[in-house]
Structure 1
Amino acid sequence: MSVNHFGTYILTRTLLPLMAQTSKLSGADVRIVTLSSVAHAMGRAEDKTLTFKGLDDFKREYADDTCPGWSRYTVSKLANLLFARQLQRYIDKAGLDILSTYINPGEVNTFADRMPFPKISKVFMGIFFAKPEQGAYTSCFAAASPLVRIHAGKYRDKYLVPVGKIGKLGKNAKREDLAVNLWTSTEKILEGMGIYMPEL
């Protein structure tokens, strides 16, 4: 979970001053699209005890869970979504015209070849899962559709599901305290490692 979240945070925050400058140019349309998943509202991601107040929360392995990998995945997708939500608040506070959206691409066949029986998995997923090209539709809509800019108030800080529709957030995804904790803790952890993010 930590590698996924911290990588997203560092990359976005490092590029943010450049995006801020670009957003001030005439005709500019700057958007930040963060990949999440319907999993953000499942399993451990819905745990009421989640706080994101310290490093231990980021390092939790969920070793006693039936499927620890799934537990970590759901929490990582929640973290991505909370980061994108707090990012929009940070951008708005700076008075910048940048849109932050977060998306669920849907069930997409991008991993059949890594399953225990790849040939069987390919057939099964070919029936029930979207092709990778189709899985990119909502990302492309969020990043490039003129409708998103025309109706910026409608799409700002929104969770998009296939294709380009506004979806419902899970309970923890609606918690502003979790988003603030995630943002603040991430900054403190990185500063402890000697990594400082540029301010706007």
Structure 2
Amino acid sequence: MTGKTAVVTGSTSGIGFETAKMLASRGARVVLACRDPEAMHAAADRIRTQVETAEVVEVVLDLADLSSVSAAADRVCGQFACVDLLINNAGVMALRQQRLTADGFEMQLAVNHLGHFAFTGLLLVRLAASRAARVVTVSSKVHPRGRIGIEDLPVPPRYDPWAAYAASKLANVLFASELNRRLSAAGLRVISLACHPGFSSTNLSRELVSSRIGTTLLGMLKKITTQPAARGALPTLCAATAPDMQGGEYIGPTRMGHTRGPAGLDRMKGDSSDRDLARGLWSRSEELTNVRYTFDAAASVPVAS
């Protein structure tokens, strides 16, 4: 990865942090794109401490605020001639109560999908300037349970924490697949893949419980049923760096029902193969974010030396 620039969203802890640290250890210039500046700075310091040669850049990115997404993209585009790897990792899970963003979007849809949709589109020209760029979007094993009514976006008529989360994770795989089809049709040197971490121990579950006892029990359950974040990062790293990866593929753990173990090919399920739904979600996402992908312009960008 020496000489390559990798942008990792949500990299202050968990899978995002482990991914960023591993990429830095392999020579990549890593851009941490995170909401909390203090937590991001602490994560950058940890990476620099553990990887003496690490080159880490910090960019504030709040995916729940489109103005922050635009500012972060401007910062990345202003600092780098090309982006070789974009990992759409940040996410929130099963928020107990419905929350709306400053833009009026349901929070899980906004952070997990719409913010990443906008960020990716705003970085497209820099991705196209790479000799072989990849966009990796982190989804979840729950995506087959997701249901998306295009007419109900961005705020569903009834809120259920897990239904909203599953819908956002379905949106991730629909986006990754549709993006790859459009990149291929435009002849760009960029591929898009999706992945999932299986059952991994991360901070995503902090919203699931509110009591001290519940937190303790959840911690015990996680130790028994999940794998460490460093192992959960393997599918992301495989999708991002393995030389034999093809655009449109879905990567996850390969053991125990694709919940843990070494990374390899998995299969998208549920509505993820519905191309009409993918196109509808794409159009609605453009309307909501006011970000329209300029594939023709990106195709004319010279490759960065």
TM range (shorter): 0.7 to 0.9
For residues 55-66 of structure 1, the aligned pairs below 5 Å read 56-60=152-156, 62-63=158-159
Higher relative CO (Cα under 8 Å, sequence separation at least 6) belongs to 1
C-alpha deviation, 1:169, in angstroms: 1.7
Paired residue for 1:74, among 162, 166, 170? 166
- Structure 2 equivalent of residue 16 of structure 1: 124
C-alpha deviation, 1:196, in angstroms: 5.0
SS at match of 2:123: helix
The answer to whether 1:171 aligns with 2:297 is: no
The answer to whether 1:110 aligns with 2:218 is: no
Checking the alignment, whether the CA contact within 8 Å between 1:40 and 1:75 is kept in structure 2 is yes
Paired residue for 1:7, among 115, 123, 127? 115
C-alpha deviation, 1:51, in angstroms: 4.0
Give me the whole-angstrom Cα distance separating, in 2, the residues matched to 1:174 and 1:144. Answer: 25
Unmatched 5+ stretches in structure 1: 24-28, 149-154
Checking the alignment, whether the CA contact within 8 Å between 2:109 and 2:164 is kept in structure 1 is no
- Structure 1 equivalent of residue 238 of structure 2: 141
Checking the alignment, whether the CA contact within 8 Å between 2:184 and 2:191 is kept in structure 1 is no
Give me the whole-angstrom Cα distance separating, in 2, the residues matched to 1:168 and 1:134. Answer: 20
Give me the whole-angstrom Cα distance separating, in 1, the residues matched to 2:242 and 2:267. Answer: 21
Give me the whole-angstrom Cα distance separating, in 2, the residues matched to 1:127 and 1:178. Answer: 37
Paired residue for 1:92, among 159, 184, 207? 184
Moved more, 104-113 or 129-138: 104-113
C-alpha deviation, 1:110, in angstroms: 1.1
The amino acid of 2:252's aligned partner reads V
C-alpha deviation, 1:184, in angstroms: 1.0
Paired residue for 1:38, among 141, 145, 164? 141
SS at match of 2:267: coil
SS at match of 1:107: coil
Moved more, 105-114 or 127-136: 105-114
Residues 129-165 of structure 1: CA deviation (Å, up to 9, x unaligned): 01111111110111112332xxxxxx32011111332
C-alpha deviation, 1:197, in angstroms: 4.7
Unmatched 5+ stretches in structure 2: 1-107, 254-261, 299-305
Q: Percent identity?
A: 26
Checking the alignment, whether the CA contact within 8 Å between 1:35 and 1:103 is kept in structure 2 is yes
- Structure 2 equivalent of residue 26 of structure 1: none
Give me the CA root mean square deviation: 1.9
C-alpha deviation, 1:58, in angstroms: 2.5
C-alpha deviation, 1:61, in angstroms: 5.1
Residues 89 and 160 (structure 1), Cα distance of their counterparts in 2 relative to 1, 3 Å cut? same
Q: Which has the higher helix share?
A: 1
The amino acid of 2:217's aligned partner reads I
| Number of residues of Structure 1 aligned to a counterpart in Structure 2 | 175
Give me the whole-angstrom Cα distance separating, in 1, the residues matched to 2:172 and 2:223. Answer: 28
